[in-house]
Amino acid sequence: MISLLDILSPECIKVPLKATDKKAAIEELVDVLAAAGKVHDSKALKESVWTRELTRTTGIGHGLAIPHGKTDGVKQLAMAIGKPASPLDFASIDNRPVSLVVLLASPLDKTSDHIQALAKISRLMNSEEFRTKMYSADSAQSIYDLLKRQEATSAAPKPAGV
């Protein structure tokens, strides 16, 4: 199973985002990935993510958006997280603004890893307690540390009979 810590580094987390709308948030997070050397064609990735966003919103509810795109401008799966200064309208399925944007970038040939990562993000953020901690985190490092603790907990073997 894919570990989100394999595709996310602290320098790819931005708190707060400067963006005040959905498109600017996507572009800002792509720029964060590009600055970290994770994307060599940021224009192609921005187009891929935005085209996907126009097809169907990635605002999945509960204050979370997971915009994502696949392009050959990315060599390996990469993730960026941004926390807007104030919640953004992402045209979410529950009509509520977004407090956390998790952008996933994948090479064209990594569909399985892409889907696994999307599923893992969704599963982690399904926990209301974890979501609340993420939304109240005040720095990139605190978001990274929360994910690290959550990954360690979810990777721990379950006791027999549970």
Q: What is the mean pLDDT of residues 36-44?
A: 96
40, 62, 68, 114: which one is catalytic?
A: 68
Band (64; pLDDT cuts 50, 70, 90): very high
pLDDT tens-digit readout, 65-79:
999 999 999 999 999
Q: Phi/psi at 68 (nearest 5 deg)?
A: -150, 155
State which H helix or E strand residue 48 sits in: helix 42-55
**To which residue do tokens 């915009």 refer?**
67
Q: Which pTM does this prediction carry?
A: 0.93
Does 144 score more than 60 pLDDT?
A: yes
| pLDDT band of 16, cuts 50, 70, 90 | very high
Reply yes or no on whether 62 is catalytic. Answer: no
Q: pLDDT (tens digit, 9 = 90+) per residue, 107-137? A: 999 989 999 999 999 988 999 999 999 999 9
Give residue 1's pLDDT. 72
Domain boundaries, the chain: 4-152
CATH class of 4-152: alpha beta
Identify whether the C-beta of residue 3 lies closer than 8 Å to the C-beta of residue 154: no
